[in-house]
């Protein structure tokens, strides 16, 4: 909202139904996104067309209707449930006399509000600049209002310059900074793998209750709000299972229908962190009538990120709010929980234990000098606890799995 205003911006939502997707569900999601961004959705206009109009997206009659609604309802913001071209934005703003933004800009604005970590802010700014660059020539009122309202907010950086060279230089700089952050995280991940640490990632549709579950299991103190994208930055906390083993639990950014490719690209490293986990908990809001679709959206995105062949446990959260359990999704291996009330935690932990990867165990080895090449394999594929050269060779303590043990068992002390 504008800094000099006390009331939220009033928004008119516009959807074009070309038969590509379920418009009703998408508009309901757009309403929630609008509220999350801090605006008030006042009314919705929907039009059926075989294809978007190149000049205004919607037909001329609908443009006139939108202009009337904007004048009568004191609308500040026109939000379209699809991506718009710069020409469409300029023409619509000229006709309706209000700021016009599209679905992608709205989501980017929410991310700009939510980013807290250095990496999160870098990723948001990169996504915003990539989206802005090809649109510089055709922007309407948006560039004149930078820093003012929804769709114009940055993640804390200076106001965006209109100079393409400046933006390209900034994009290059952001990519370099992100590479450094990713390299540091890769070191952490390698150390976890070497130490035999099992990672369990909470993935799922936004606002499914992942952060509440994270807090319930680990007392992590993660921001948990009833808003879309309450969590943007990944959080990792240790979780001790009943069997005594400690795993690393990671909370991640929520998924969304038609997640803009600019965001998928910018947040790829963060999303890949979830996809590379040993076990995935696909959390969904079981009380939602679209629970099954939400689970499928997550599964599709995980496949696109390369998370294939990993154990995925469907976690049906908010089970206490399900009015008719018979209508809720029935999935093999699903766990029913209420993260808010702490119900079903024992079953969830048991499901995690059942899906743990092959267990490692400690061994004491004495490798002859002719076999010290095995030490490099132990360092790479196992976890070396200690090593010492003695007259007979290399004495080494390590954590190994059954496969690695088969290669070194003849040297066990």
- Block means of pLDDT (10 residues each) for the chain, 413 residues, are 65 94 88 92 94 94 95 94 92 94 90 79 87 66 50 53 76 89 77 75 86 86 60 75 83 75 68 80 88 83 79 91 72 88 94 83 87 83 84 87 81 87
Task: Report the C-alpha dihedral over residues 233, 238, 239, 240, rounded to 10 degrees.
Answer: 180
H or E segment and range at residue 187:
helix 164-194
Per DSSP (E only), the strands in 335-378 are: 335-336, 361-367
* pLDDT at residue 92 in the model: 95
* pLDDT at residue 110 in the model: 85
Query: 243 exposed, middle or buried (CB, 10 Å; 0-12, 13-18, 19+)?
Result: exposed
Is the pTM higher than 0.85? The answer reads no
**CA nearest neighbour of 248 among 195, 287, 201:** 201
Q: Which two tokens stand for residue 319?
A: 């089970």
Q: Which two tokens stand for residue 316?
A: 């049906």
* pLDDT at residue 258 in the model: 73
Spatial distance between the Cα atoms of 41 and 34, rounded to a whole number of angstroms: 7
Spatial distance between the Cα atoms of 308 and 318, rounded to a whole number of angstroms: 27
Query: 92 exposed, middle or buried (CB, 10 Å; 0-12, 13-18, 19+)?
Result: buried
* pLDDT at residue 146 in the model: 44
């Amino acid at each position: 909202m504008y800094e000099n205003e006390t009331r939220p911006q009033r928004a008119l939502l516009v959807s074009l139904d070309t038969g590509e997707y379920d418009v009703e569900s998408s508009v309901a999601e757009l309403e929630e996104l609008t509220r999350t961004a801090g605006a008030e959705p006042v009314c919705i206009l929907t039009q059926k067309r075989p294809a978007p109009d190149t000049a205004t997206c919607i037909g001329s009659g609908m443009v006139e209707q939108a202009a009337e609604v904007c004048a009568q309802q004191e609308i500040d913001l026109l939000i379209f449930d699809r991506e718009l071209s710069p020409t469409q934005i300029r023409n619509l703003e000229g006709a309706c006399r209000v700021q016009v933004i599209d679905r992608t800009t709205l989501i980017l604005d929410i991310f700009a509000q939510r980013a807290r970590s250095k990496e999160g802010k870098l990723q948001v700014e990169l996504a915003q600049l990539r989206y802005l660059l090809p649109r510089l020539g055709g922007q309407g009122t948006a560039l004149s209002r930078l820093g003012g309202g929804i769709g114009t907010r940055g993640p804390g950086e200076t106001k965006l310059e209109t100079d393409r060279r400046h933006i390209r230089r900034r994009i290059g700089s952001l990519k370099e900074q992100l590479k450094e952050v990713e390299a540091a995280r890769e070191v952490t991940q390698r150390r976890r793998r070497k130490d035999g640490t099992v990672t369990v990632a909470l993935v799922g549709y936004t606002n499914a209750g992942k952060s509440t579950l994270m807090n319930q299991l680990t007392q992590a103190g993660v921001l948990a709000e009833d808003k879309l994208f309450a969590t943007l930055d990944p959080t990792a906390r240790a979780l001790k299972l009943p069997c005594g083993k400690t795993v690393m639990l990671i909370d991640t950014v929520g998924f969304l229908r038609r997640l803009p490719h600019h965001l998928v690209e910018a947040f790829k490293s963060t999303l890949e962190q979830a996809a590379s986990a040993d076990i995935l908990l696909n959390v969904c809001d079981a009380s939602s009538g679209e629970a099954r679709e939400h689970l499928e959206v997550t599964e599709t995105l995980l496949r696109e990120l390369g998370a294939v062949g990993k154990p995925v446990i469907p976690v049906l959260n908010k089970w206490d709010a399900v009015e008719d359990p018979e209508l809720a999704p029935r999935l093999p291996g699903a766990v029913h929980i209420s993260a808010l009330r702490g119900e079903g935690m024992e079953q969830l932990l048991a499901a995690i234990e059942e899906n743990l990867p092959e267990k490692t165990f400690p061994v004491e080895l004495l490798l002859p000098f002719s076999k010290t090449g095995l030490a490099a394999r132990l360092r790479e594929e196992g976890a070396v606890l200690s090593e010492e050269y003695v007259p007979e060779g290399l004495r080494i303590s390590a954590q190994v799995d059954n496969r690695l043990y088969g290669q070194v068992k003849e040297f066990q002390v």
